[in-house]
Chains A and B, each alone.
Chain A
Amino acid sequence: MLSRTASELYWMSRYLERAENLARMLEVSYSLSLMPQDGRGDGLDELAMSLLSTGTLELYQERHGDLNAARMLHFFALDPDNQASIFSCLRAARINAHAVRGRITADIWENINATWLEMLNISSEGLGRYGISRFCEWVKERSHLFRGATYGTIMRGEAYSFIRLGTFIERADNTLRLLDSRYEMFGEESEEVSDLSARGYYQWSALLRALSSFEAYTEVYRGSPDARQISELLLLRADVPRSLRACMEELNHILSHLPGDNGRPAQRLAAELDARLRYTAIDEILDEGLHTWLTDFILLVRQLARAIHSSYLEAV
């Protein structure tokens, strides 16, 4: 497959996955922000967390100054000038898909194209009128359709592999960031706050819901969420589809099955990270310090993404 084609497919699915992740995060932050808050804020720090975890706090402040719920929601959902908005992600995915429409099935292409056309309509209607929850639901639904169309219609060849590589790199990164920023939000108190407090309960369950792992958590641990078990679930359990371990296992599997010899660096790194997660226990991670460990792993995932780029997507 052409390196450029592989690259467009990879980025197409990264952007779509990113849009879905943003919608999940926004949905949860928004509903948390509506809850009675202790201390300052009008639920603003909940929304500000989204700015932090996507690295767009500075851009927002530059453009809009003070935190304001309506402006922040617009910034994440519809702002065409915010490269990290859902609008921008869907636009970018559509541009990538357009460039390789000959390489994806008509079902996939029409799904992405129709999503984009509908996005334009929603954007002209405005988020206030369309409804935030309804919007987030819509983005998730379009993402499910994309996955379904992909899973159900495309040949299990290289195109499929690169679409999935993009998905899992993006997802691994997202899981790490969300866990890190949620943990960071507790800050100093994280050790003291009883995980049974109402605040702790909502915070942690919000994270689980954002990663659609709430059901998995209750099934596995049958108890109230706490930091140790949540970290274990989201980092080390292979049977939770958005966990780091599940993403890593997929990445390793896909990379080891790609043809050609030029992918060695990416294959080696993926195998190494997969093995590391397989043989790590949650206590080792907590001993090292969750934040430190997460920060390191975010860099490792980035390194893997770079290796995929230089091995396949920019290959000569």
Chain B
Amino acid sequence: MSRTFYDEMYDASGECRPHYREFARWLADTPQELLAQRRREADLLFHRAGITFTLYGDEQGTERLIPFDTIPRAIPMSEWRTVEKGCIQRVKALNMFLADLYHNQRIIKAGIVPAEQVLANEGYQIAMQGLDLHRDIYAHIAGVDLVRDGDGTYYVLEDNLRTPSGVSYMLEDRKMMMRLFPELFAAQRVAPIDHYPNLLLDTLKSSSPLDNPSVVVLTPGRFNSAYFEHAFLAREMGVELVEGADLFVRDDRVFMRTTAGPQPVDVIYRRLDDAFLDPLAFNPESMLGVPGLLAAYRSGNLVLANAIGTGVADDKSIYPYVGDMIRFYLDEEPILKNVPTWQCRKPEELSHVLANLPELVVKETQGSGGYGMLVGPAASAKEIETFRERLKARPEAYIAQPTLCLSTCPTFVEKGIAPRHIDLRPFVLSGRETRLVPGGLTRVALREGSLVVNSSQGGGTKDTWIVED
């Protein structure tokens, strides 16, 4: 991997890339004051609409705006086609992997994925063993995180198969751009994404064997960081947004409490982790879930999207095997690359990691949200030593990867326009077919030099354009 950054808008000689030319022309013609004014307008509109997220550990429950940047991230259609195919291939293989794990475990028997890595994994749910799911789909909604290296090659950073979030920002960012800068959309063809909620509802409905199943979105409640998104999706799909206390189980069927009495529920798009779904089966302390839900699920009267136990497949210790899964189940070569990954559980790889810590990124296999990781080049000697001890104590809990030179995109910052690192999360829907809308959520690390794009760490978002070549 090369060490230079790939700039999405300009090539190495400073020339504007073809798919950005319309935008660059517009930018040069548009007065700075107007841009600044529109950006203030965007902030105001986001605030007014309450498009916010809540920080964990913030006792005030303060709602924050996710900073929105008005310079879009553009991808030419021809390039997108490859990304799209790669995501579909990957999610198909991951779903087949999950079905296999909870049934015959052929991939373990074939010696491709070690048994202990699966069966001893926290994400593996015994309750799912032998259970047949409609269409064999486990991850109905998946978010695939992609980054680009110095030469512009796309790499999959991680697969999110539990409750991936951010799709509401993808849709709201587009709405905002169209509202603020309609002339940009008139000047070129940007592929539309507004039908996502429609596809999502179709996916959820097709996950049930019933003709016209009743669908709900299950949220942990208004204090959850992604509550805005839960409400947004329920509204856009026209289905009920429920909390655990709105549901109850009788005779292995789930009902919701309504003004006209109990109403049956067939499909739950749950935005609640496995451990909180059913206090009888998982965490007995949880007040968020529904007692008896697992029994209803196991009796086949209910579809959960995503299924219970998908976490085993997006675990960072399983990630290195996704390429092999694609070869094993689909008999194809992976279209998208994995980031080279050292598994600290393997002694020879651990010693390589320990010897090269200052150059590497070390992540917890169970971690998410940008917490609990070491970014070697940005860390102090003391932090590196602390991590070295942790690695030695529990090597199986960590993986390591080279520091990627994440691509950059011009971004409005205080000093004007400057390059900032970005990633991309397309959302893959699996139902009758596997598909996605053209685009995804582009997250941007607003601090200069920072590689961490998570909103909980001060990241922002950009509209993502798939532009006709």
Asked whether, in the complex, the Cβ of B49 is within 8 Å of the Cβ of A113, the reply is yes
In the complex, the answer to whether B235 meets A103 with C-beta atoms within 8 Å is yes
- For residue A117, CB closer than 8 A to chain B, the reply is yes
Chain A residues with Cβ below 8 Å from B50 are 98, 101, 109-110, 113
Rounded to whole angstroms, the CA-CA distance of A77 and B231 in the bound complex is 31
B467 contacts chain A at the CB level, 8 A cutoff: no
Residues of B within 8 A of A113 (CB): 48-50
Using known A-B contacts A4-B246, A99-B222, A110-B49, determine if residue A260 contacts B231 with beta carbons closer than 8 Å. Answer: no
Given the interface contacts A2-B242, A4-B243, does A117 sit within 8 Å of B48 by beta carbon? yes
B112: interface (CB < 8 Å): no
**What are the interface flags for B231-270 relative to A under an 8 Å C-beta threshold, 1 for contact and 0 otherwise?**
1101100001111011010000000111111100000000
Contacts of B135 in A (CB 8 A): none
> Nearest 9 CB-CB pairs, A to B?
A260-B260, A102-B235, A102-B231, A102-B234, A312-B259, A3-B257, A102-B241, A113-B50, A6-B259
User: Is A158 positioned at the interface, with any CB of B under 8 Å from its CB?
Assistant: yes
Task: Provide the residues of chain A in CB contact with B232, threshold 8 Å.
Answer: 102
Residues of A within 8 A of B (CB-CB), count: 31
What is the CA–CA distance of A6 and B242 in the complex, to the nearest angstrom?
Answer: 12
Which of B48, B222, B248, B259 is the one whose CB lies under 8 Å from A260?
B259
Candidates A3, A263, A312; contact of B246 at CB < 8 Å: A3
Which residue of chain B is the closest to A104 with respect to CB atoms?
A: B235
- Complex formed: what's the CA distance from A177 to B48 in Å? 35
A128-162 CB contact bits vs B (8 Å, 1 = yes)?
00000000000000000000000000000010001
In angstroms, Cα B256 to Cα A103, docked, is 16
| Docked complex Cα distance between A315 and B262 (Å) | 8
**Could you tell me which B residues sit within 8 Å of A by CB distance?**
47-50, 222, 231-232, 234-235, 240-243, 245-246, 248, 256-262
A34 at the interface (CB under 8 A from B): no
Q: In the complex, are the beta carbons of A4 and B257 less than 8 A apart?
A: yes
B contact patch SS: mixed
* Given A101-B231, A102-B234, A103-B235, A1 contacting B258 (CB threshold 8 A): yes
Q: Which residue of A lies closest to B221 (CB)?
A: A99
Query: Cα distance A100–B246 when bound, in Å?
Result: 13
Closest chain B CB from A209 CB (angstroms) = 33
B259 near A315 with CB under 8 A, answer yes
Q: Using a CB-CB cutoff of 8 Å, which residues 253-275 of chain A contact chain B? A: 258-263
- A262 and B49 contact, Cβ closer than 8 Å, known pairs A98-B222, A101-B231, A102-B235: no
Q: Which residues of B contact A106 (CB under 8 A)?
A: 49
A2 → chain B closest CB, angstroms: 5
State how many angstroms separate the Cβ of B200 from the closest Cβ of chain A: 14
* Alpha-carbon distance A1/B49, docked complex (angstroms): 24
- Evaluate contact between A4 and B234: CB separation under 8 angstroms: no
B-side contacts of A100, CB under 8 Å:
241
- B241 / chain A contacts, CB cutoff of 8 Å: 5, 100, 102-103
Asked whether any CB of chain B lies closer than 8 Å to the CB of A316, the reply is: yes
- Report the separation of the CA atoms of residues A36 and B50 in the bound assembly, to the nearest whole angstrom: 47
Chain B residues near A4 (CB-CB < 8 A)? 243, 245-246, 257
Per-residue contact bits, chain A 1-18, to B (CB 8 Å; 1 contact, 0 not): 111111000000000000
Contact of A114 with B by CB under 8 A:
yes
Q: How far is the CB of B64 from chain A (nearest CB, A)?
A: 14
Contact of A262 with B260 in the complex, beta carbons under 8 Å: yes
Residue among A102, A103, A106, A260 with most chain B CB within 10 A: A102
Asked, given contacts A2-B240, A102-B232, whether A316 binds B257 with beta carbons under 8 Å apart, the answer is: yes
* B257, A315: Cβ atoms closer than 8 Å: yes
Interchain Cβ contacts under 8 Å between A and B, 26 examples: A1-B240, A1-B258, A1-B260, A2-B240, A2-B257, A3-B258, A3-B259, A4-B243, A4-B245, A4-B257, A5-B241, A6-B259, A99-B222, A100-B241, A102-B231, A102-B232, A102-B241, A113-B49, A114-B48, A117-B47, A261-B261, A262-B260, A313-B259, A315-B261, A316-B257, A316-B262
- Which chain A residues border B261 with CB–CB below 8 Å? 260-262, 315-316
A312 to B260, CA, bound (A): 7
Q: Which of A1-50 contact B (CB under 8 A)?
A: 1-6
A316, B232: Cα distance in complex, Å: 26
Contact with B along A89-104 (1 / 0, CB 8 A): 0000001001111110
Contact with B along A70-112 (1 / 0, CB 8 A): 0000000000000000000000000100111111001001100
Q: A102-B234, A260-B260, A315-B261 are in contact. List 11 more A-B contacts (CB 8 A).
A: A1-B259, A2-B256, A3-B258, A4-B257, A98-B222, A99-B222, A101-B231, A102-B231, A117-B48, A260-B259, A316-B262
